[in-house]
């Protein structure tokens, strides 16, 4: 039986680790033709090897915050796949190591690096995708990665001002574009996870106070979520099952937004 993404030509930006890697595995299982992109050649080669039990895909190195790199990525992806049907942008950073933190402590470097990695990158990849989708005129889908911290803050443990701003910006950009391009058959949606157990969240996941906090804040798991939780949601939103869905923000949060 054909999978839900059978024959779909898909690009996952940030697909070599964490949430993006889990999505890549599920996309391949669902029949997608896939390219994954990321900054590190070594991580990319390792990811394609680890994905082989699920299917084969190509890796293209790319700094998604660099305009020329993004244009090269999309040109190469469309050449290899013969076009593009789905963009899933997962790539981003936490920004703490650059100086992100509470507003009164957030450094200019932390602000600029976080917004470049998290917000400018989404602008560049989404723009590149929409330009190609408008030329192709198929039904097409973009899925972007935000965070529950964009609209459900928790400053005791997660007080990162630039990160929250970047993730809120992703929601605003996605809704604006979803409204603009719906008549062109382009669907644009957002996933907003809570704390997911990935390499990027290792500091938080290892913190005993945070794990105690999650017992009530994420009651469905009473701990961090799994990358596969986001992957299953992504398959739905990128498939024809969601053909009547655009402009939504889907919290994948274990109950974070409805819990105290």
C-alpha dist (Å) from residue 120 to 98, 125, 159, 235:
16, 9, 21, 25
**Stated pTM of the model:** 0.96
Cα 207 versus chain centre, distance: 24
**CATH class as words, domain 9-249:** alpha beta
Which phi and psi angles does 2 have, rounded to 5°? -65, 145
Is 88 annotated in the active site?
no
pLDDT for 199 equals 86
Distance CA 142, CA 23 (A): 14
Query: 52 Cβ partners below 8 Å, 6+ apart?
Result: none
* C-alpha triplet 173, 4, 81: angle, nearest 5°: 70
Q: How far apart are the first and last CA of the chain?
A: 43
Residue 36 in this model has a pLDDT that exceeds 90: yes
What confidence tens digit (pLDDT) does each residue in 120-139 have?
999 999 999 999 999 887 78
**Catalytic pick from 88, 161, 163, 181?**
163
> Looking at residue 260, what is its pLDDT?
76
Under the banding of pLDDT at 50, 70 and 90, the label for residue 57 is: very high
| pLDDT tens profile 212-221 | 999 999 999 9
* Distance of alpha carbon 255 from alpha carbon 220, whole angstroms: 6
Annotated domain spans of the chain = 9-249
Contact 158, 216 (CB under 8 A): no
pLDDT in tens, 196-211: 999 888 888 899 999 9
Does 1 have pLDDT greater than 70?
Answer: no
Helix segments in the chain, DSSP class H: 18-29, 41-50, 67-81, 108-115, 121-136, 161-181, 202-206, 208-217, 227-238
- Residue 139: predicted pLDDT: 84
Contact (Cβ atoms closer than 8 angstroms) between residue 218 and residue 255? yes
């Amino acid at each position: 039986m054909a999978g839900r993404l059978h024959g779909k030509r898909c690009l996952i930006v940030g697909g070599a680790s964490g949430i993006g890697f889990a999505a890549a595995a599920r996309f391949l299982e669902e029949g997608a033709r896939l390219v994954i992109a990321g900054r590190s050649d070594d991580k990319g080669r390792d990811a394609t090897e680890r994905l082989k039990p699920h299917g084969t895909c190509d890796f293209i190195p790319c700094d998604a915050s660099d305009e020329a790199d993004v244009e090269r990525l999309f040109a190469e992806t469309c050449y290899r796949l013969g076009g593009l049907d789905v963009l899933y942008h997962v790539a981003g950073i936490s920004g703490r190591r650059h100086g992100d933190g509470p507003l009164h402590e957030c450094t200019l470097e932390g602000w600029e690096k976080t917004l470049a990695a998290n917000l400018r990158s989404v602008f560049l990849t989404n723009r590149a995708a929409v330009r190609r989708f408008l030329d192709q005129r198929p039904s097409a889908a973009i899925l972007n990665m935000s965070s529950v911290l964009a609209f459900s803050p928790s400053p005791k443990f997660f007080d990162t001002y630039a990160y929250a701003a970047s993730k809120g910006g992703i929601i605003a950009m996605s809704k604006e574009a979803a409204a603009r391009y719906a008549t062109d058959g382009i669907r644009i949606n957002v996933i907003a996870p809570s704390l997911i157990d990935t390499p990027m969240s290792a500091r938080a996941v290892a913190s005993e106070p945070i794990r105690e906090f999650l017992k009530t804040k994420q009651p469905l798991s009473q701990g961090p979520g799994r990358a596969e939780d986001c992957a299953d949601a992504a398959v739905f939103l990128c498939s024809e099952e969601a053909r009547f869905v655009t402009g939504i923000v889907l919290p994948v949060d274990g109950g974070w937004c409805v819990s105290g």
